[in-house]
A and B are shown apart, each in its own frame.
Chain A
Amino acid sequence: MAPTTPSATEAGADRAEQEPAVALDGLGRAYGERIALADVTLRLPRQRTLAVFGPNGAGKTTLLRVLATLLRPHAGVVRVLGCTLPGEGWAVRGRVGLLAHEPLLYRDLTARENLRFHAALHGAPNGRVDTLLERVGLGRRADDPVRTLSRGMAQRVAICRSVLHEPELLLLDEPLANLDPGAADAVEELIGRASARARVLISHDLEQGLGGADVVLGLRAGRPALLAAAGEVTTADLRRLYT
């Protein structure tokens, strides 16, 4: 539950540097009797992007949540950033950033207050909050309640939240939804390939998702239907997943 002593963490971090960002072996997760994920096996090297595709209910969000340590795996071995889940989940938590479907923001607090709150939870400095808000172009609206922001603006605040603590692995669930092209460019540095972080990305935009990926996973009914390097997959292959 509590973090280890500094020296142990550093030794662990050295060891972890050689490990892939994500290493799954037969990951399985069930909801009662129903299978949400089964037999998912893959490796994602550091600073590479995994794009996940699949129809609704295929298990994409479940996969993301398992990697975020929000759900425990029921079967198989899950290693994220060199730590085994769920036992070492506490060691991973500060190093992973999640951008979920919901912005995870309190609607009656301002953008700045929300981010400062998350900064306090992660031990990040308040200055970083202000920098990020400027970077995504919300400097002037930062002190308005989230309730008054448009979906696109709230999404931008959520993006700030997900990178506030400099995570080594980003988990993104349709990050560019609701964003206009200008905003999409503004956040590219933070969460796109240019951010040089390992990323797992869920997208319904086949071309864009494929374009930014190094590894591609296609899920259907919780099982991997397609797993290949991005160069070997075409959008036609992906489209078949959805039929």
Chain B
Amino acid sequence: MSAHAPPHPPRSSAVVAALIRKDLRLELRSGEAVPAMLLFSVSTFVLFHFGLDREALEGDLASGVLWVTLLFASVLAMNRLFVAERDEGGFDGFLLAPVDRTTLFVAKAVVLLCFLVAVELVAIPAYAVLLLGPSPWQAMPELLVVLALADLGIAVVGTLVGALGIRTGAPDLIVPIITLPLMLPIVIGAAQATAPLLLEGGAEALSGRWLASLGLYDMVFALIALAVFDFLLED
């Protein structure tokens, strides 16, 4: 029964892949995060229509509404990200394994990114139909670049705040209040970068400084997250 030698510790990339597979499988099978984020986004667009009393938005107003909605939708996901770990003993199961703890951070950030992309695939066309004046296709490649950089920032900081919040007594309160100020630079950068892309008269060029500012934010927080994540898991 114990005649075999114990297995070698697995490679980090294999561990990250296993973690991502597990989470995506759980979400596909019985997850509520992505549908909820979608419904929330579309409802928010409807609310904005009534709240602002406008039928079509363009420029910085369109940009702002889009990014604020996406940010709030991502907060929903952040709260759910570690729920299975907390409730079904996943933290212990992971902590017992001979693997680098940062793999959990990387895996969860990728999963959050996947959720965001899945939601955006539906929410942005919905936005174009419901509220957006100009067509988003006019500057789609640039829009994708902004989405990529901003989503990366949301994924990194969202995973960190989600992990911070899940083991407190009130994660659904703690996560939103910390997230909103912390992600302000993302909202500023993304909204300012997107605004010229959503103009009625045709999109203008993408401004490099906002991409740089988003990139800087992403890098700084990714480095910090990698450094401190371990401390959130150990006891």
Contacts and interface: CB of A to CB of B under 8 A. Distances in A.
A35 interface: no
Interface size class of B (residues with CB under 8 A): 35 or more
Contacts, number: 106
Contacts of A120: 10, 14-15, 17-18
Contacts of A100: 89, 92
A95 B7 CA distance: 9
Interface string B79-97: 0000010001110111111
Nearest to B11: A123
A117 B89 contact: no
A236 interface: no
B2 A197 contact: yes
A100 to B, nearest CB: 7
B2 A106 contact: no
Contacts of A190: 1
A96 to B, nearest CB: 7
Interface in A70-128: 70-72, 90, 93-96, 98, 100, 102-109, 113, 117-118, 120-125
Contact of B96 (A1, A70, A113): A70
Given A93-B96, A122-B10, A165-B6, A71 B90 contact: no
Given A113-B25, A167-B6, A195-B1, A106 B88 contact: yes
Contact of B100 (A1, A94, A161, A194): A1
Interface size class of A (residues with CB under 8 A): 35 or more
Contacts of A109: 22, 25-26, 29
Interface string A169-196: 0000000000000000000011000111
Contacts of B17: 120
Nearest to B100: A1
B15 to A, nearest CB: 6
Contacts of A72: 234-235
Given A117-B18, A118-B93, A195-B1, A3 B88 contact: no
15 contacts: A3-B98, A72-B235, A90-B98, A98-B96, A102-B88, A102-B89, A105-B89, A106-B84, A113-B22, A121-B10, A121-B18, A166-B2, A166-B4, A168-B2, A196-B2
Interface of B: 1-2, 4-10, 14-15, 17-18, 21-22, 25-26, 29-30, 84, 88-90, 92-101, 230, 234-235
